[in-house]
Structure 1
Amino acid sequence: MSLPSQFIFLPVLLQILLTIGVYVALAVAKSRALRDGQVDLARRALHADAWPDSVQKINNNIRNQFEVPVLFYVLVVILHQLDAAAALAEGLAWLFVASRVVHATVHTRSNHVPVRRPVFMFGCLIILAMGVLATVAVFE
């Protein structure tokens, strides 16, 4: 028994929640940095380096949420529109979002690149696989 094709949008909703969660973390980190006097107030509006590393890590991750995940959003819509949102596509979508959760956690905490990079690359490979599925579906 297959799941309804609209279930492929559940990982999309989780990815959106992740992005909102990172924005909340950024607001908290900025508030703490301001409270603790760690911000160059004269430069904060235009210069990322006016903020401490704890804020910059989260800010960098926010930017990341609007790079590869945009491809994910588009591919999910394409797969759904082509009636190709079957179990494999759904599984890949969940794997992608799981990789993004791990990536965001590492990026905003330890920022340990030897861990972060393979997780990022794994997510990119999932996007590639979803792209292949979409391409095949176009020609079916």
Structure 2
Amino acid sequence: MTNNITLLVAATLAMVLLTFLVGARLLYTRVTEMRQKRIHPQAVATSSKMAAKLENVQTADNFRNLFEVPVLFYALVAVSLSVQHTPVWLAYGAWLFVLLRMAHSIIHCGYNRVMHRLVAFLGSFLVIVCLWLTFFLSLLGRTA
């Protein structure tokens, strides 16, 4: 396995680990709040009921976010590996994306300053857009 592939797979594993960590934090915050407020699990069986009864929803919002834009990251990694085109800039760009998503999650699950979170989100979004565009163009150049 080349160094570029190793870096790319490691970035993907880091993104998966981030998702697992936020998921575990979600479970902890939900159970803690429900116990403190003595909320029966059936009382929050739907998302609308949950929103009405629970106050700490930042982690749940962040967990959902990890299944939105990051899907484009996972798709890019899968495509690059399947066509065996994993240039070094893609590996480094993948790590930049992951680091920005980590910052986004830390802010969102922590002190939740919207403008700080927005900077991390926009940064990661621009990175993934640039990675896809550059990847597409590099593939065109490779096949030409």
TM-score (norm 1): 0.88
The C-alpha deviation readout for 1:86-132, integer Å capped at 9, x for no partner, is 21100000000001111011111121111000110000011011101
Match of 1:74 in 2: 75
Q: State the 1:82 CA deviation.
A: 3.0
Q: Return 5+ residue gaps in structure 2 as ranges.
A: none
TM-score by length of 2: 0.86
SS at match of 1:53: coil
Q: Partner of 2:34 in structure 1?
A: 34
Partner Cα separation in structure 1 for residue 99 and residue 4 of structure 2? 21
Q: Kindly report structure 1 stretches of 4+ aligned residues shifted beyond 3 Å.
A: 38-43
- Matching residue of 2:54: 52
* Conserved? CA contact 1:6–1:80, under 8 Å: no
Structure 1 position 63 matched with structure 2 position 82: no
- State the match for 1:24 in structure 2: 24
Q: Which runs of 5+ in 1 are unaligned?
A: none
* 2-11 or 106-115, which deviates more: 2-11
Q: Match for residue 5 of structure 1?
A: 5
Contact between 1:61 and 1:104, CA under 8 Å: does it hold in 2? yes
For residue 102 of structure 2, what is the amino acid of its counterpart?
V
Instruction: Supply the RMSD in Å over aligned alpha carbons.
Output: 1.9
Percent identity at matched positions? 26
